[in-house]
Chain A
Amino acid sequence: MGTEDPSRKNFPYRPAASPFSSPQSTMPFLSSPPVVGSQGPIGGSNSSSVRPSTTPASQTSPFISSRPAVGPEPSNFRPGPPVRSTTPFMNPSQPSYSQTPAGPFQRAPGQQFPSNTQVPPPRTSPMGQQASPMPTNHSAASYTSMPALQNPNYQSSAESSYFARPNLQQSSPSMRPYFAPGTQPNAAAQTAPVPSASFLNHQNNYVQPPPVAPTPFISPQHGYAPPPPGATLGPYSMDKIRAPSSTASLGPAQGLAEDFNSLSIGSVPGSFDPGLDSKALPRPLDGDLEPKSYAEMYPLNCNSRYLRLATSAIPNSQSLASRWHLPLGAVVCPLAEAPTGEEVPIVNFATTGIVRCKRCRTYINPYVTFTDGGRKWQCNICTLLNEVPGDYFAPLDAGGRRIDLDKRPELVKGSVEFVAPTEYMVRPPMPPLYFFLIDVSISAVRSGVIEVVAQTIKSCLDTLPGYPRTQIGFITFDSTIQFYNMKSSLTQPQMMVVSDLEDIFVPLPDDLLVNLSESRSVVDAFLDSLPSMFQDNVNVESAFGPALKAAYMIMNQLGGKLLIFQNTLPSLGVGRLRLRGDDLRAYGTDKEHALRTPEDPFYKQMAAEFTKYQIAVNIYAFSDKYTDIASIGTLAKYTGGQVYYYPNFQATIHKERLQHELARDLTRETAWEAVLRIRCGRGVRFTSYHGNFMLRSTDLLALPAVDCDKAYAMQLCLEETLLTTQTVYFQVALLYTSSSGERRIRVHTAAAPVVADLGEMYRQADTGAIISLLGRLAIEKSLTSKLEDARNSIQLRIVKALKEYRNLYAVQHRVGSRMIYPESLKFLPLYGLALYKSTALRGGYADAQLDERCAAGFTMMALPVKKLLKLLYPNLIRIDECLLKADALESTWKKVPLAADSLDPTGLYVYDDGFRFVVWFGRQLLPDIARNLLGEDYTTDYSRVSLYEHDNAMSRKLMKILKTFRETDPSYYQLCHLVRQGEQPREGFFLLVNLVEDQVGGMNSYLDWILQIHRQIQQNA
């Protein structure tokens, strides 16, 4: 597979629209290139600000200024403060251009460097010469080595760099022959007057080993401008940086610098000629790659762990959006864990009140602009001019920035947390409240759940958030419901049994829910005696529905978190469920989806009621038999909760996992009684939301409890046929009560450029966000139609998207039978395949237990992007060498492709999908290793062996490695399963079925999948 130079992407192939045609389009992007520190945006904002006021000729000026070498010229550029103020973009925090003449532009070229290497020799370049509609030779190549002087980055290659820049305008005062090496036909066309002498140069240019890619400059000019040609901006350059010089490895024929990556598929469609080497297929062995260019373009944006857009280039028209066949939207994880040092700053506007836009209620953020000497601010989302409250006033400096910027995190950080005053409360902030609903029927007793749960809760009592306000309560149930009076004056809890299931009532008005710190001794006594209380229980029934209602009656005054430990299919009272089981005959028919939806509307109604009263439900299901997770999980789905499923729970095996996950659930930082809303600029609207929550109004997500392990996805659409703005802003606001009892608003703000070019949208795509959206959509679809339809919808969208992309370039390029795709989406087909094979969507009846499938579906609907990607394409790491070497470093771990081929019989591998580990022992693994790790059990059946630390260095090392893996992903506890090569069915069940790239059970291998997609793309292409 050849990765062709992504850098080139830019110019050549776009439809040749004149950059001039839309002068406005410009600049936001400029800044994008990697700027130093916070200055980056400056360029952008300045330039944009400049332009409105400049004469047409002056459009060029940004360029000029951009070139570092120009020396005096930059001064042209300097925007007067008034101008700045007009620009919505401007960020007060940024120094004005004039202050930093060396600004972002220069940087841009510096960054570009890596890409240069990729610029292909002209002959090969289809774009410039053959395919591109316009001749390139107009472009003048400038020999100026200007940037070198000022830009340190540049220097290394400065000599060789003949700087090419597209010269967009002949009018440009500089008139320097810039030249875009063949890459900029459009620009070139316009530069007609410019002497074309440069062509040669540009040839030279190419020849030079590190030729400079002109792109960055160009980009500012056309950048993001509506007319397609310009679209190449800074961002691209980033692209290149990310995947620099993959060209180096290309065969001669592919040494083209192209705007896309491609896979050479030698075969004619239909045949299975091994024209494609499976080793060359792209694999995310480095984990999730986020588009960095975007973050660097807008350094004021919130971090991508909070908000990820499916593409960071928003289409400017509905027709363009309709050609983007992938989901367009965002994935939000409002409370994502921030590494130390990057915590979200807390802002308290004690006296002022929170500063918000009067019209659209946007919170003040780094993208607002202050005008009128600091007395007014313009909302970046609805452009309304608001008064600055008296207490919040600060004068502006000469550059138009507020002088108190360094003391105002909300004006420099994309993520902040405001302390909300009483207007944001409908009632006093609730205390953290944990209520436990524990099944004590015989199967729970036998599996040992009760004991583990009681111990874990007890061990977490000291670390529950919100001391000393935390409230706690318990109900147990089998065929009756047992309430516990935990009044602090008692020494032992009092049990009250209610057996009237038809008309459930609460036997005590209060004291069923008590303050933990006051009743601590009673709670301790209860938890100590709980396991023994029911150890002889032989009740097989479960009055789950009535117990749920009872819990609801107790909790609905305050809200809180309800943890349900459920072992037996609900059999009594309301909400009893049939053993509808996994009906083989239903698969493949129209009734299939009914198995995955709640059977009894009771559960949906209860979920709605729970949400209304701010109760979040977490389900822990343990049964070894069918428990109808589809119905019961609904409770978690609509209350912002989570489903933990431990099929066939045995305390001896699964104890640690339950302990860890329950402890995390109880002690992680939780936001209570929250609502989440995402606002965006005019012309764009969020239309649908996907995840575990309930909508309280068209765009308000009700989240009784939120924590760092929950993410929400949303899709957006364009309301207007044409967007006239250059940037769209998004603001996520989560209003919640913290465990400490403070009402807070967490605000994440992000900006994204509006583009007119489809290629740009693809270049700025974020595979992680797209896959997260695609997965959620497919899982939702599996609730209303057949699994097969849900899977096909994923495939269809991938095919359509890649086909559209191919059409974009196929005309100018002889792409032949190659499969082409943008660098940013190189993993899309693989993750699509992984979704196809994920537990929630794979196969049919036999491929996954119904409960397991539903539980996986609920989990995937809530997972943040990174964890989802890890689940879809887990890590497979060979560790035997590392164990043998005494001083092997962690960095030597190498992830290998998820295929049976990569499993070497002499090796020891760890498979880690974030939810469990599978340790695979090769058949020819040195017996010493196995003996050291497993003790004398190493020859027996591994299903009966568990991994624990033995007294030798190797075993300790393995445990250390596993511990390190676990620490990277603390949301779940990865239980270790041991598997020996060839030990069926264990090996197949744990590992082989999860090797995404292999052909398993009638599902495609990666290679076949690519070929299949490729064929579909070529059909009526």
Chain B
Amino acid sequence: MAWDPIFWLIFFVMNIILIALTIYQIVCLSDLEADYLNPYDSSSRINSVVVPEMVVQGVLCALFLLTGNFYMFLLTLPNACYNARLFMKQQHLIDVTEVFRSLDAEKKYRLIKLAFYLVLFVVVLISSLICFIQPINSIE
């Protein structure tokens, strides 16, 4: 399909956004741990990007479905469900009063998410390369 390269480009960009947001959150947490940031700033910074990240992730997941990339959709679905669940329970934001107690867990959670996004990144990268190369091949 002619639209495929464009979709893959969008996926690619969204994925990079997700990775960037996650890294930003991890940096905030590390700064907090190292006492470069106070808990108020740190949690407000993190909390300001939590919902955008969830939205981007949800959109990405939906786009995978709409564009018919079922395997990719299945890959991102668990994460989207998990996010939705957190949001429903209102547990998606960092609690500034208890941030130090949950620091390790939050950090671990974000590192795992980062690893997941990186895997996704590799898959998207390969897929989009294939997608870009295919037309060239077919022309030849």
Whether A604 lies near B101 (C-beta < 8 A) is: no
Task: Compute how far the CA of A825 lies from the CA of B101 in the bound complex, rounded to whole angstroms.
Answer: 30
B38 CB-CB contact with A under 8 Å: yes
Task: Compute how far the CA of A601 lies from the CA of B93 in the bound complex, rounded to whole angstroms.
Answer: 10
Task: Compute how far the CA of A634 lies from the CA of B96 in the bound complex, rounded to whole angstroms.
Answer: 13
Task: Compute how far the CA of A345 lies from the CA of B90 in the bound complex, rounded to whole angstroms.
Answer: 50
A16 CB-CB contact with B under 8 Å: no
**A694 cross-chain contacts in B, Cβ below 8 A:** 39, 97
Closest residue on chain A to residue B40 by CB atoms: A612
B70 CB-CB contact with A under 8 Å: no
Whether A698 lies near B97 (C-beta < 8 A) is: no
Max chain A C-beta neighbours (<10 A), residue from B33, B93, B96, B99: B96
B24 CB-CB contact with A under 8 Å: no
A249 CB-CB contact with B under 8 Å: no
Whether B96 lies near A698 (C-beta < 8 A) is: no
**B99 cross-chain contacts in A, Cβ below 8 A:** 695
Q: Which residues in chain A, 89-108, are within 8 Å of chain B measured between CB atoms?
A: none
Whether B100 lies near A604 (C-beta < 8 A) is: no
B140 CB-CB contact with A under 8 Å: no
Whether A698 lies near B33 (C-beta < 8 A) is: yes
Q: Count the A-B residue pairs with Cβ separation under 8 angstroms: how many?
A: 33
B53 CB-CB contact with A under 8 Å: no
**B38 cross-chain contacts in A, Cβ below 8 A:** 696-697
Whether B40 lies near A697 (C-beta < 8 A) is: no
Whether B40 lies near A698 (C-beta < 8 A) is: no
Mark interface residues in A485-512 (1 if CB within 8 Å of B CB, else 0): 0000000000000000000000000000
Whether A608 lies near B100 (C-beta < 8 A) is: no
A620 CB-CB contact with B under 8 Å: no
Task: Compute how far the CA of A607 lies from the CA of B97 in the bound complex, rounded to whole angstroms.
Answer: 8
A529 CB-CB contact with B under 8 Å: no
Closest residue on chain A to residue B35 by CB atoms: A697
Task: Compute how far the CA of A634 lies from the CA of B97 in the bound complex, rounded to whole angstroms.
Answer: 10
**A698 cross-chain contacts in B, Cβ below 8 A:** 33, 35, 100, 103
Q: Which residues in chain B, 76-102, are within 8 Å of chain A measured between CB atoms?
A: 90, 93, 95-97, 99-101
A688 CB-CB contact with B under 8 Å: yes
Closest residue on chain A to residue B43 by CB atoms: A608
Closest residue on chain B to residue A612 by CB atoms: B40
A352 CB-CB contact with B under 8 Å: no
A638 CB-CB contact with B under 8 Å: yes
Task: Compute how far the CA of A282 lies from the CA of B60 in the bound complex, rounded to whole angstroms.
Answer: 66
**A607 cross-chain contacts in B, Cβ below 8 A:** 97
Contact of B90 among A601, A608, A612, A695 (CB under 8 A): A601
The answer to whether residues A604 and B35 also contact, given A612-B40, A688-B101 and a CB cut-off of 8 A, is no
**A608 cross-chain contacts in B, Cβ below 8 A:** 39-40, 96-97
Q: Which residues in chain B, 95-140, are within 8 Å of chain A measured between CB atoms?
A: 95-97, 99-101, 103
Contact of B95 among A604, A612, A688, A696 (CB under 8 A): A604
A605 CB-CB contact with B under 8 Å: yes
Max chain B C-beta neighbours (<10 A), residue from A634, A638, A688, A694: A694
The answer to whether residues A604 and B97 also contact, given A697-B35, A698-B33, A698-B35 and a CB cut-off of 8 A, is yes
Q: Which residues in chain A, 595-626, are within 8 Å of chain B measured between CB atoms?
A: 601, 604-605, 607-608, 612
Task: Compute how far the CA of A694 lies from the CA of B98 in the bound complex, rounded to whole angstroms.
Answer: 8
CB distance from A678 to the nearest CB of B (A): 15
**A601 cross-chain contacts in B, Cβ below 8 A:** 90, 93, 95
Mark interface residues in B25-41 (1 if CB within 8 Å of A CB, else 0): 00000001101001110
**B103 cross-chain contacts in A, Cβ below 8 A:** 698
Contact of A696 among B33, B39, B101 (CB under 8 A): B39
CB distance from B114 to the nearest CB of A (A): 22
CB distance from A659 to the nearest CB of B (A): 32
CB distance from A705 to the nearest CB of B (A): 17
- 7 of the cross-chain contacts (CB-CB < 8 Å) are A604-B96, A607-B97, A612-B40, A688-B101, A695-B100, A698-B100, A698-B103
Interface positions of A (Cβ within 8 A of B): 601, 604-605, 607-608, 612, 634, 638, 688, 694-698
